[in-house]
Amino acid sequence: MNVRRRATRTVTPEAARLPARVWAIGGGKGGIGKSFIAANVAATAARSGRQVLLIDADLGGANLHTCFGMPAGRGPNLSDFIEDRIQDLDKAAEETPIPGLRLIRGALGHAGTADTSHEQRTQLVQASRGLGADLVIFDLAAGMDRATLDFFLETDESMLVATPEPTSIENAYSFLRASFYRKLAHGLRDSPVRDLVREAMDQRNERGIRTPTDLIAEIERLEPAAAENLRKLISSFRPRLVVNQVRNREEVKLGFSIRSVCRKYFGLDVEYLGYVSYDDLVWRSIKERRPLVVAYPQSDSAIYIRQIVKKMLQP
Ligand SMILES: Nc1ncnc2c1ncn2[C@@H]1O[C@H](COP(=O)(O)OP(=O)(O)O)[C@@H](O)[C@H]1O
Ligand SMILES: [Mg+2]
**Cβ contacts of 6 within 8 Å, gap of 6 or more:** 81, 87, 89, 123, 127
Strand 240-246 to strand 157-162: parallel, antiparallel, or no bridges (unpaired)?
Answer: parallel
Closest-lying ligand 1 atom to the alpha carbon of residue 139: 21
- 1 falls in which pLDDT band (50, 70, 90)? low
Residue 245 CB–ligand 1 contact under 6 Å: yes
CB count, 10 Å around CB of 243?
28
Find the ligand nearest to 61 CA: 2
pLDDT digits (tens, 9 = 90+) for 118-155: 888 898 999 999 999 999 999 999 999 999 999 999 99
pLDDT digits (tens, 9 = 90+) for 30-77: 999 999 999 999 999 999 999 999 999 987 778 899 999 998 877 899
Residue 33 CB–ligand 1 contact under 6 Å: yes
Q: Sign (positive/negative) of CA torsion 181, 25, 235, 268?
A: negative
Find the ligand nearest to 67 CA: 1
The secondary structure of residue 140, as a DSSP letter, is P
CA–CA separation, 53 and 289 (whole Å): 19
**Cβ contacts of 308 within 8 Å, gap of 6 or more:** 41, 242, 273, 274, 276
SS3 sequence of 70-117 = CCCCCCCCHHHHHCCCCCCHHHHEEECCCCCEEEECCCCCCCCHHHCC
Residue 283 CB–ligand 1 contact under 6 Å: yes
Question: Phi and psi for 3 in degrees, rounded to 5?
Answer: -60, -50
State the pLDDT at residue 4.
47
Closest-lying ligand 1 atom to the alpha carbon of residue 161: 22
Query: How far does residue 218's CA lie from ligand 1's centre (Å)?
Result: 41
Query: How far does residue 126's CA lie from ligand 1's centre (Å)?
Result: 29
CA–CA separation, 74 and 107 (whole Å): 10
**Around 26, how many Cα atoms within 13 Å sit in the side-chain half-sphere?**
33
Residue 148 CB–ligand 1 contact under 6 Å: no
Residue 292 CB–ligand 1 contact under 6 Å: no
The secondary structure of residue 20, as a DSSP letter, is P
Strand partners, 24: 138, 158
> What does the DSSP assignment read for 213-225?
HHHHHHHHHH-HH
CA–CA separation, 98 and 103 (whole Å): 10
Architecture, CATH, for domain 1-162+279-315:
3-Layer(aba) Sandwich (3.40)
Residue 179 CB–ligand 1 contact under 6 Å: no
| Percent of the chain residues past pLDDT 90, beyond the cut | 58
Confidence check: pLDDT of 17 > 60: no
SS3 sequence of 162-212 = ECCCHHHHHHHHHHHHHHHHHHHHHHCCCCCCHHHHHHHHCCCCCCCCCCH
Question: Phi and psi for 59 in degrees, rounded to 5?
Answer: -70, -25
- Residue ranges per structural domain of the chain: 1-162+279-315, 164-245+256-273
- 285 falls in which pLDDT band (50, 70, 90)? very high
Residue 165 CB–ligand 1 contact under 6 Å: no
